Structure 1
Amino acid sequence: MAPPREHVVAVVAHPDDAELMCYGTLHRYLEHGATVTVVVVTTGVNGVSLADRNRGVSLSDREREAESAASYEGSGIDLLPLGFTDGALVPDRQLVSSIEAELVRLGCTVLITHSLHAGPDHQDHLAVAQAAVNAATRVATCTTILHGQPHAPRGDFHPTVLVDITDLLPDKVKALAEHQSQAGRWYLSEDFTHHRAAEAGWSLAPVQAAAGRRFEAFETSLITLLVPEGDR
């Protein structure tokens, strides 16, 4: 019997988080035949500063940007907004239940979410990571959890998995550029994107990094399912 098709679900806090954290990884899964869905928990409305609003940026711009980035080059990535308000997320019953319902409905096999050490990076990232992991423990199909590298440098992030995105890096830069409402943020810049993709390799694959390979980095949580002999 052929193994079931993977359904990779990235659960992220804000409209630009999936591109920042795992753009290349999601496309690698697509190349291997997986179904890929990005669940964006918040609207990102509070990520539009007063200065942004004064230059005409609106909530609809953030929503449109997320859709454009997800569909860049006709990728086939599905986008699912949950509509929470950003800035004050907590991993309470409402958030956990909302994420759990989607993981079950989608038949998630691989969950990608924020680091559990992402507090100073953004409080919403930490709340989403805690809620997503909580939810995944009750999703029978979910066997792998990947925690993406925080946007801001963190000394307590210790990657155990690298995904080679060398050929996808130019497309990742273009996808990030779709988020024009966030223009000027250092973590969205092309220079930082290249720097972080190079830095990730030096920790675990220095030979490949020296040869010019570029990566996205993750910590992992694995849920081992023990299948009774008669059910195999």
Structure 2
Amino acid sequence: MTSDTTNLLIVSAHAADFVWRAGGAAALTTARGGRVTIVCLSYGERGESARYWRQGLDLEQVKAARHREAAAAAEVLGAELRTLDVGDYPIVETDELLDELVRIYREVQPTAVLTHTTVDPWNTDHPLASRLAQKARIIAQAPGYQPGEKVLGAPPVFLFEPHQSEYCEFRPEVLLDITEVWPTKLEAMRCMEGQEHLWDYYTDVAKRRGVQARRNSGPNLGLTTDAMAEAYMRVFPQVADQLA
């Protein structure tokens, strides 16, 4: 994944996932004139909103708070937010949800897709979101599905880093330098007030991946000692005309 990708589609299980894991990629894309569409399958109202439940909010109030946070974060990143509100813990695959994702793929025509890993023993909603995102991509490529619509090409799929990567079979195959937009990502993270405890955690993740990016790039990219980065896995082979 290069930082000048012009049309990203991010499929996020819950309303905050895209911020922690792909906020830098989103900020880079929009800062360079590209488009970012973020699809949140749910608000994470049941499983990832403990702070609001402790405050005595009811379900609809929790969802409203999560929507405000996600909308504010997406605005900071310069991205378009689409919330499907299908519920969480668990997210359930339905024909209607799959059809909606296929429709979004064909409408957006992304040049790259970012989503969760297919393994996460800590949160089964994340692998389900990944499988849905990849299944919808395949269906959107099929000319015989809703004939007459513009079919999808073959956008690469990148899996963003999970919360506990060592348990999720995650390999940091792509290290994306987000140093120039780190202040933007941090501002977006701070919009997620219901999960304030993760602000420092994902700052530390970005620092650690920045160190790895600097060591692996050598002098080629000119990364500084304060580099910040995000890590991704590829699902499909990279097609290139040279090895670099």
In structure 1, distance between residues paired with 2:64 and 2:30: 28
Gaps of 5+ in 2: 141-151, 218-222, 240-244
| SS state at 1:42 partner | coil
How does the TM-score come out when normalised to structure 1?
0.81
In structure 2, distance between residues paired with 1:204 and 1:84: 37
Kindly report which structure 2 residues correspond to 1:143-182, keeping only aligned pairs within 5 A, or say none.
Answer: 143-155=155-167, 156-182=169-195
Kindly report which structure 2 residues correspond to 1:1-232, keeping only aligned pairs within 5 A, or say none.
Answer: 6-46=6-46, 47-49=48-50, 52-57=52-57, 58-72=62-76, 75-117=77-119, 119-139=120-140, 140-155=152-167, 156-184=169-197, 188-190=198-200, 192-203=201-212, 205-206=214-215, 211-222=225-236
Does the Cα contact within 8 Å between 2:211 and 2:227 map onto a contact in 1?
Answer: no
In structure 2, distance between residues paired with 1:113 and 1:207: 24
Alpha-carbon deviations, 1:103-149, whole Å to 9, x = none? 112122211111112x2241111100011011112332342111100
Does the Cα contact within 8 Å between 1:143 and 1:224 map onto a contact in 2?
Answer: no
In structure 1, distance between residues paired with 2:185 and 2:87: 26
| SS state at 2:9 partner | strand
Task: State the shift of 1:13 in Å.
Answer: 0.7
In structure 2, distance between residues paired with 1:11 and 1:81: 10
Distance 1:83 1:142, change over 3 A: farther
* Structure 2 counterpart of 1:229: none
The RMSD of aligned alpha carbons is 2.4
| SS state at 1:59 partner | helix
Distance 1:96 1:205, change over 3 A: farther
In structure 2, distance between residues paired with 1:207 and 1:166: 15
Amino acid at match of 1:122: N
In structure 2, distance between residues paired with 1:6 and 1:16: 23
How does the TM-score come out when normalised to structure 2?
0.78
* Structure 2 counterpart of 1:230: none
Higher strand proportion (structure 1 or 2): 1
Alpha-carbon deviations, 1:26-53, whole Å to 9, x = none? 111123332111001112221333x632
Which deviates further from its counterpart, 194-203 or 142-151? 194-203
The number of equivalent residue pairs is: 213
Which deviates further from its counterpart, 202-211 or 167-176? 202-211
Amino acid at match of 1:126: P
Task: State the shift of 1:86 in Å.
Answer: 0.8
Amino acid at match of 2:78: G
Amino acid at match of 1:150: P
In structure 2, distance between residues paired with 1:165 and 1:110: 17
Amino acid at match of 2:123: H
| SS state at 2:40 partner | strand
Gaps of 5+ in 1: 226-232
| SS state at 2:172 partner | coil
In structure 2, distance between residues paired with 1:150 and 1:182: 16
